[in-house]
Amino acid sequence: MKCEIMIEKKLVCIWLNRNESAAPEVPALLKPIYQKYKAINYTVVVFRSGSQNLLKLSSELLRYNRRLFAEREEESAGKKDPTRENQSG
């Protein structure tokens, strides 16, 4: 377990590897950390290692978001351009 405290952002990041994520005693270990930092208005974030291919999944997510953004841009441009509506008829 790695714990990173960012005072200027009032943020605590806890990094767990796969073994720690699966360990049944970890929630009990994290509870006092949550309580301690909640009392001083910090946000506690827990990152857990996954079992899938991060590079592949991140790449797919970026492609999806890029495609979605392009579709929204086209829709937005179509609504703003009255000449596009007249060209289809």
Q: What is the pLDDT of residues 28-74, one digit of tens each?
A: 999 999 999 999 999 999 999 888 888 999 999 999 999 999 999 99
Say what the pLDDT of residue 86 is.
57
CA distances from 9 to 41, 51, 61, 67, 81 (A): 11, 30, 27, 33, 43
Alpha helices in 1-89 (DSSP H): 18-22, 26-38, 54-80, 82-87
**Measured distance CA(11)–CA(28) in Å, rounded:** 20
The answer to whether the predicted template modeling score (pTM) of the entire model surpasses 0.75 is no
CA distance 70 to 76: 10
Q: Work out the average pLDDT over 78-84.
A: 68
Please, are residues 43 and 12 in contact by the beta-carbon 8 Å criterion?
Answer: yes
pLDDT in tens, 14-32: 999 999 989 999 999 999 9
